[in-house]
Every structure is written in C-alpha cells, then in structure tokens.
Amino acid sequence: MQKQRTATVLHVDLDAFFVSMELLRRPELRGQPVVVAGGLGPRGVVNTCSYEARAFGVRSAMPVSRARQLCPHAAYLESDYGYYSAASRTFHAILRDYTPLVEPAGADEAYLDVAGTGRLFGEPAEIAATIRRRIRDDIGITGSVGVSINKLVSKVASDAGKPDGLVVVPAGEEAAFLAPRPIRELPMVGPKTAATLAGLGVHTIGDLAALPVSVFEARFGKHGHELHLRSLGIYDAPVLDGRGEAKSVSRETTFGDDEPDGERLRGVLLGQAERVAADLRKQGKAARTVTLKLRFPPFETLTRSATSPRPLHLATELFEAASTLFERAWAENARRPVRLVGLGATNLQEGAHQLGLGETMEADDLARAVSGLRDRFGEAVIRRGAEVHTHRGLHEED
C-alpha cells in the first residue's frame, strides 16, 4: 500500500536548463542544435543540449568529441556556472513560496509536497500551473511539472511532459500511467539492466510489472523486490525539507559503463571526499564515521563503515578512511567492475578542529579556497590531478 494516497507531490524540472539560459542571451540560436559542455576540448563532457541536438543522438554526460561526430553543425558553448546559479536560486525561491517541503534534486529540479496548502494556493495542478508561469515570468525559461502521489511517479510524469508540460497522474492510476512507457524511463533501470530485461522480453514498464516477483528476485536478488514495486508505481520515500539540519553528507557517482579501472575509481572517490568536506565545512560540522558504498552490476550493493576516534573534516582524512574501506571491499569482491561508488560522512558533530603537533592551518585555507572557487564558478572549475581523467560518462548525485 502507498502511504500517500493523494496526488500532492510535484516534481519540477527546468527544461534543458543551461541551454535555456544561454538562449536568453543568444536568441539567434533558438531552433538550432545547441550543446553546453564543461569544457570544449578533447576531455570535455556535455552538460546538457537542446532538443534539436538530442534528435541527433547527443546526450548529457557524453564526451564532446562524440557529440561533434553526431552533430558537427551544432553550436558548442562552454558552461557559465556563475550565470546559471543566480537563476537556480530564483527557481528554488519560487518553489518555497508554495510549501516548506521542498527537496532539491539539483540546480534545476526539485520535489515538493503541497498537501495542506489548498486553501492558500489551490489544488496541486493549479499550484503546478502557477509555478510554471512564474518560472517563465521571473526567469524567462520553461519548466515541466509532474504531479502524483509520490516522487517516483512525479519524476516520470515531468519527463513525459517535456518540454514545457504539465502531467497529472491521479491517485490510483500510477501503474496504468507507467505501463506503456519504455523501460528506461523507470528510475533504477540503467542501460545494462535494460539490456538484461530485454533478454526476458521486457520493453515497457508494464512488461516489467507483469513478471512474477520470483523472476525479479532470482535475477536481481534483494533489489528485485524494489524494482517490482517501482514498476507498479509504489514508492514510499517522503519529500524531505532540504533546509533541515543534515544528519549525514554524501556523494555518489554512477558510471555510464561499469568501471574496471582502480585508478579511475580512486580518483572519483577523492573528488567525492573533497565535496563532502566542503559540505561539512559549510555546516560547521565534522564526522566521526565514514561510509563507503559500492554497487556491482546489476544491483548488488554493499556498504562498509569505519568510525574514527577523532572527528574528521578534511578531504584528505575522509579519503584516507574511504580508500582503506574501498581497497578491502574491492579485493573481497574480486576487483569486479563497479557500477556506483559513494562516500558518506555520518555521526556528525560540531566541527571544531584541534591542531596536532606540527600541524598548520594551510590545509584548511586551501580547502576553503577550492570550495569558494567551486561555489562561484561550478564544480568543474578546479579538480585534483587524479580526478581530471575521470570526468567522463558519469552521473553524480548529492
């Protein structure tokens, strides 16, 4: 049974956000293929692209070199993170005008639960329409909204409405809405899983829902049951207020292709340690426990944790703890290719740092400088050398 039986959950997603922002100041490019990338050189990666470019097969996280092969006549622009961040702040401020329950899912998307706000702002569909209008009026771009009883179905609905659409899935119609949609539109199904399912004759979400639970569990282990529930539109995770005090800080990276290279995995883990450390610093926190998360194909996930006798707050400290866990866990699993790697910091406490004998504040100063640059210009503005060659074919989540 679903815990939430009224369609009050919204997923709001700005349409091709970076491209839309570029078209505001480059209107002559409207209607043309446009690609916005984090770097235009041989190691550049597509951040997003216009729908005209997508028609040629260009996709987010694709190497720019591949995008140029598919669509050589597109306009290629380098990302301007400072320009986009102002619009992102306006976007999230708009959402908070309608409910305190706003869960950011990135610079350009968020989940809302508008239960109990009807007397002030109308029915959920009316609120969704108002939000879309304000995005257009206040920012000058478009957004798509999905409305349903939970985050999973609302996410699929907003994607189905793109661009510039509103899709409402009434309570009780989740499975019927999902059934005809391609299997890749279901969150949790990546290309490898989709290929496995195609071998079972599964091409739509409805095909997936029709399989016996025993088939799921035999093929995907304990994650098979969750996959079955999702195919029916059953998902109980609530919308969380993103402004509440965090009890943990984490980063996860899902690879476009299962990653066998230990050097690349360590580089990604190091980058995650830097970002987690920056988040801890902003909150004035330190962590006693570091958690490693690894996922092997298709859905075999393991976690390993270690608790330190003293609080940790520097990236080097977090990485040292996580890499020790990684080396042991990866070796225990025959160094198989990895689908996802994540680093988490829990058991948080106030972040006062006592200097050890001979220790200086230089590491803190450097970390603050790096964090400030990333806040102002975006994540890609500065990277450690070990991480540079890893930023291809990845999807990173907070």
Report the candidate in 115, 108, 107, 106 with the shortest Cα–Cα distance to residue 150.
115
Angle at 64 between CA 160 and CA 24, to 5 degrees: 60
Residue recorded with tokens 């066998």: 260
Cis peptide before 298, with omega less than 30 degrees from 0? yes
Of 22, 52, 103, 109, which one is the catalytic site residue? 109
The helix-helix angle for 362-377 and 81-96 (nearest 10°) equals 80
What is the number of other CB atoms lying within 10 angstroms of the CB of residue 51? Answer: 14
Q: Are 64 and 77 in contact (CB under 8 A)?
A: no
Active-site annotation holds for 109:
yes
The helix-helix angle for 315-332 and 262-283 (nearest 10°) equals 140
What is the number of other CB atoms lying within 10 angstroms of the CB of residue 133? Answer: 11
Q: Are strands 109-113 and 9-14 parallel, antiparallel or unpaired?
A: antiparallel
Counted residue by residue, the chain has a size of: 398
Q: Are 306 and 321 in contact (CB under 8 A)?
A: yes
**What is the rounded CA–CA span in Å between residue 258 and residue 250?**
21
Residues with Cβ within 8 Å of residue 222, at least 6 apart in sequence: none
Q: Please give the positions annotated as active site.
A: 109
